[in-house]
Amino acid sequence: MEKAEQLRAAGRQAPGDAEVQYELGNARYDRGQYEEAIVLFEHALEEAPRSDETKPFDRAWLVRAKYELAFCSFRLAEQGDAALYAKTENILQVIDLQAKGLTIREEIIDLWGHLLVKQGRYAEASLKFEELIESFPQSRLVENAWYMLGGLYFKMDCPEKGRKAFEQLVFNFPNPAYAIGNDSNADQDTDKGGDENVLLYDYNR
C-alpha cells in the first residue's frame, strides 16, 4: 500500500488528476497489483468532480472507473479475501443501474455472473449469462456466456439444458475457444462437488 500512496501523491501534482490516477490504476492492475490499483481508482473517483469543473467527466467514464474498481476487488477475492465478493457485488449493483444504455453494461453482467459462480450461486449466475446473451447478442462475451451456461446447467442437474447450451455454442461459434467433451464427459466433469473450475476458464477482462 505504501507504493500506492506514493503514486497517489505523485498524481496529485499532475494536471487532470482523476485521469492520471485512473491510468495509474490501470497500470497497477496490469501488473497484478490489485490493492494499489483499488486505491488509485478510488482516488480518481474522488477527484473527478474537482479535476475539470468546465468539462465534467461523463457518465461512461465514471461507470468505467467504478467497474475497474469492482474488477480489482473481484481479483483480490479470488486470491483469498472472500469478504470482497460482497463488496464487489455491491459495486456491481450500483453501476448496473448507472450503466443503462452504455455498452459497458455487458461487461458488468459478465463479471457479475462469474462472481456468482465463484460463490456457488449457480442459479443466479445462469440468469446473468442468459441476460447477457439476450441483451447483447452481438457481444464478444456471448461465446463464453453459452459455455458458462452449459456448465452451469449440468451443475444444477439439468443435463438437457446443458447440452442445448453447448449445441448453441458450437452452432454460433464453429471454432469455440473452449474444449467441450462428449455428453458423458460433461456429466462426469460437472459432478466433482462444487469446483467452479470445472466449468470456468481463467477469467480475464
Per-residue pLDDT of 69-94, as tens digits, reads 999 999 999 999 999 999 999 999 99
Distance CA 58, CA 82 (A): 32
Q: Which DSSP state fits 31?
A: T
Residue linked to cell 467441450: 180
> Hey, what's the cell of 80?
483469498
> Hey, what's the cell of 186?
460433461
Which of helix, strand or coil describes residue 195?
coil
Mean pLDDT, range 25-29, rounded to an integer = 93
| CA distance readout (Å), 92 to 20, 74, 119, 180 | 24, 11, 15, 30
Distance CA 155, CA 163 (A): 12
Q: What is the pLDDT at residue 185?
A: 39
Q: How many Cβ atoms sit within 10 Å of the Cβ of residue 83?
A: 9
Inform me whether the pLDDT recorded for 55 exceeds 90. Answer: no
Inform me whether the pLDDT recorded for 187 exceeds 80. Answer: no
Is the alpha carbon torsion for 196, 112, 109, 156 positive or negative?
positive
How many residues belong to the chain? 205
> Hey, what's the cell of 131?
441476460
| CA distance readout (Å), 16 to 55, 59, 78, 180 | 11, 17, 33, 48
Q: What is the pLDDT at residue 42?
A: 93
Inform me whether the pLDDT recorded for 180 exceeds 90. Answer: no
Across 9-13, 105-109, 189-193, the highest mean pLDDT is recorded for: 105-109
Distance CA 15, CA 90 (A): 31
